[in-house]
Amino acid sequence: MRVSLLRRLATMATTLGLTSLGLLGAGAAPAQAAISDCPSGYFCAWKTDNGTGTMFKTNANKATLGTWDNTFQSVVNRTSKFACLHEDTNYSRNGGVSIWDPDPAGTEWGYSHRTVSSVSFVATERECFLPAYPEWYAATAPQAAGFGDLNADLRADVLVRDKAGRLWFLRGDGTGQLVGNSGWNAMNVLVRHGDFSGDGREDVIAREASTGKLWLYPGAGTGSLGAPKLMGNGGWNAMSRIVAYGDLSGDSRSDMLAVEKATGKLWLYPGTGAGALGARKLIGSSGWTGMSALVGAGDMNGDGRADLIARKASTGELWLYPGKAGALGSRVLIGNGGWNGMDSFLGLGDVTGDGRADLVTTTKSSYVGEGCRGVGCQLVYPGRGNGALDSREETATDWWNLNGFF
Ligand SMILES: [Ca+2]
Ligand SMILES: [Ca+2]
Ligand SMILES: [Ca+2]
Ligand SMILES: [Ca+2]
């Protein structure tokens, strides 16, 4: 698996080099009379560098280009999708690909390379050179973790939101399934951890950016989500972080934590087990806005209670706050700096198959690892079962050009 992933990374580097070259021509002095011949909704190309002469146009994928093969010189993309110009036929991602953003108004045209042999139209830039969703592999755990596993097959799952606002369910075997067609970009928080509705299936909680409302999307037990139910009626945009945590209150029902932006207070919102939240309780009096990541990671220290992992922004340290009945205990340092190089943190339970909860991250551009560098490396930090983490393992290189994972 790793070999093929690394090979793909090398391919991407080539791809991106060509992409930026392909865009160098954009914005050159337009010859409006001819470029404007391209109809709305079409991608058009010409063999000349000023859009004169015979015009090629299409609004559908073209696996081969016939007499137009290797002739595109100036191009404009008046479709609402990304146009991928592949150097090879059949939309091959192995050769170079240059990408033209959707531009329905036809205001930006530019030069191509006379190397284009197929054209495809996709919803996200990423799909010009990678599958819509990344590969996710998880080992089968010896027992259910109670969270991180939407379809209850003992393998930890990930939900991925792409830049087009679609939601993908990654079941842990490298495959993915579309579970949300559109609209998910309207949410500015997406979290999950255990069952909030009371049916034993893991659910998703989302905050709607425009209204500050909190919505519960009940899990169907398959990776799909049911119709949303209102869980919090406005005001949630006052929270800088919202974490689906697991049970902290001690009643075996999943709870939520939230950091209040204005005060830095940490609040516990006990889940009722019927899709609602009870009266909140203060569990951290100040300073929580200084944390740049909060993860409901499950039971990291082996005492049977869910714990919280937090990254301190100023130091890049990782702290474990052990869950007690209705409160958090004294914190323990589990990562000694360097964690600011991480982009996302995922608490998914046991992904390595040893029965102990692990921590999964993706990286920022500053990351330099053994087999992957830059943005979008995926790392697994196996939990030791006593709160500590083992050394990272680089598990994938294609977790980038997306819009969040949880
Ligand atoms: Ca549920
Ligand atoms: Ca509870
Ligand atoms: Ca614990
Ligand atoms: Ca594990």
Expressed in angstroms and rounded, the spacing between residue 239 Cα and the centre of ligand 3 is 25
Position 57 pLDDT exceeds 70: yes
CB atoms within 10 A of CB 60: 10
CB 1 within 8 A of CB 84: no
- Quote the pLDDT of residue 12: 38
Expressed in angstroms and rounded, the spacing between residue 350 Cα and the centre of ligand 4 is 4
3-state secondary structure of 378: strand
Over the stretch 217-263, which tens digit does the pLDDT of each residue have?
A: 999 999 999 999 999 999 999 999 999 999 999 999 999 999 999 99
Q: Spell 330-345 as b/e; 16+ CB within 10 A means b.
A: eebebbeeebbbbbbb
Expressed in angstroms and rounded, the spacing between residue 256 Cα and the centre of ligand 2 is 8
CA atoms of 12 and 377, how far apart (whole Å): 13
Expressed in angstroms and rounded, the spacing between residue 142 Cα and the centre of ligand 4 is 10
Residues by chain with Cβ below 5 Å of ion ligand 4: 350, 352, 354, 356, 358
Give the mean model confidence (pLDDT) for residues 264-277. 98
Give the mean model confidence (pLDDT) for residues 188-216. 98
Expressed in angstroms and rounded, the spacing between residue 152 Cα and the centre of ligand 1 is 12
Please tell me the number of the ligand nearest to residue 194's CA: 1
CB atoms within 10 A of CB 198: 15
Expressed in angstroms and rounded, the spacing between residue 278 Cα and the centre of ligand 2 is 10
* pTM exceeding 0.75: yes
Token pair for residue 313? 């922004």
Residues by chain with Cβ below 5 Å of ion ligand 3: 299, 301, 303, 305, 307
Please tell me the number of the ligand nearest to residue 380's CA: 4
Position 382 pLDDT exceeds 60: yes
CB 156 within 8 A of CB 147: no
Q: What percent of the chain has pLDDT over 70?
A: 92
Position 324 pLDDT exceeds 50: yes
CA atoms of 334 and 310, how far apart (whole Å): 10
Cα 327 to its chain centre, rounded Å, is 30
CB 97 within 8 A of CB 121: no
pLDDT band at 1 (very low <50, low <70, confident <90, very high): very low
Q: Among 368, 348, 239, 247, which residue's Cα sits nearest to residue 291?
A: 239
Expressed in angstroms and rounded, the spacing between residue 269 Cα and the centre of ligand 4 is 28
Token pair for residue 405? 């994972």
Expressed in angstroms and rounded, the spacing between residue 282 Cα and the centre of ligand 1 is 26
Over the stretch 15-54, which tens digit does the pLDDT of each residue have?
A: 333 333 334 334 444 444 578 899 999 999 999 988 899 9
Please tell me the number of the ligand nearest to residue 253's CA: 2
- Quote the pLDDT of residue 11: 34
Q: Among 129, 160, 180, which residue's Cα sits nearest to residue 403?
A: 160
3-state secondary structure of 164: coil
Expressed in angstroms and rounded, the spacing between residue 61 Cα and the centre of ligand 4 is 43
Expressed in angstroms and rounded, the spacing between residue 362 Cα and the centre of ligand 2 is 29
- Average predicted confidence (pLDDT) for the chain: 92
Please tell me the number of the ligand nearest to residue 348's CA: 4
Give the mean model confidence (pLDDT) for residues 293-300. 98
Q: What percent of the chain has pLDDT over 90?
A: 88
Expressed in angstroms and rounded, the spacing between residue 360 Cα and the centre of ligand 4 is 10
HSE, side-chain direction, 13 A CA sphere, residue 53: 13
Expressed in angstroms and rounded, the spacing between residue 358 Cα and the centre of ligand 4 is 5
Expressed in angstroms and rounded, the spacing between residue 146 Cα and the centre of ligand 4 is 14
